[in-house]
Amino acid sequence: MRRRGVFVWFIIVLIQISGVCWPEIITKRDKNGALVISNTAGYESTGKSVKSTKKSSSNTIPQQYLDKIKQLSGKYGIKESLIIAVAKVESNFNPYAVSHKGAVGLMQLMRGTANDYGVKDRYNAEQNLDAGIRHLKYLYEKYSYDLPLTLAAYNAGQEAVEKYRGVPPYKETIRYIRRVMEHMGLTYSGYFQSGQRSKIYKYVTRDGRVIITDTLPSKIDGTIIALD
């Protein structure tokens, strides 16, 4: 058993140094006891070997998820681009993704958040998407359509946003905000210190108009810079 464990870690290290970027590496045993190392649960096991039945691409979003997002976007009144960007950064559209903090699924729901929205199975893609989108909408409205604050609360929690009265000075959270907004074609360059909140934004639209505001518009199609 010890030799097999060393072998498993050796394979994982090889995967990591090969340059392949996967959001999750899943190691598990199937019902036949066969060891499976995968970045997706889309496999079948014969008990002797594993063969892939699901093609995966880091740049391709499964059509069924796009269709569901379009439906829920209209239902809850929140932009498709925001939902897609959050799901992309959270899980890369892997419904079986699990974070080191225990967040699960496409929208990376923690157990408490899932319970708040009546989710029975966090690995169920439709339930996960529906709850994640509803939570995103709740935060978006709570923070008066302030996109960076919304994303900060989604990533770090509302308590952290309240504690720092703005985007918390966590490198992970600031990086998260930037990544999501980049997927939306936006730029975030705000810097927040403990106990401070930047309330003023310079918003540059794609047609070159410059807007100075303390509340970002709900529909954004330009570049955002948080002013100190």
Catalytic residue numbers read 90
Query: Is 200 within 8 Å of 215 (Cβ atoms)?
Result: no
Chain-centre distance for alpha carbon 70: 17
Ramachandran region, residue 195 (left: φ > 0; alpha: ψ -120 to 50; beta: rest):
left
- Residue 96 near residue 108 (C-beta atoms within 8 A): no
Distance CA 119, CA 156 (A): 21
Three-class DSSP category at 170: coil
Structure tokens at 160: 């952290």
Q: How far apart are CA 59 and CA 111, in angstroms?
A: 28
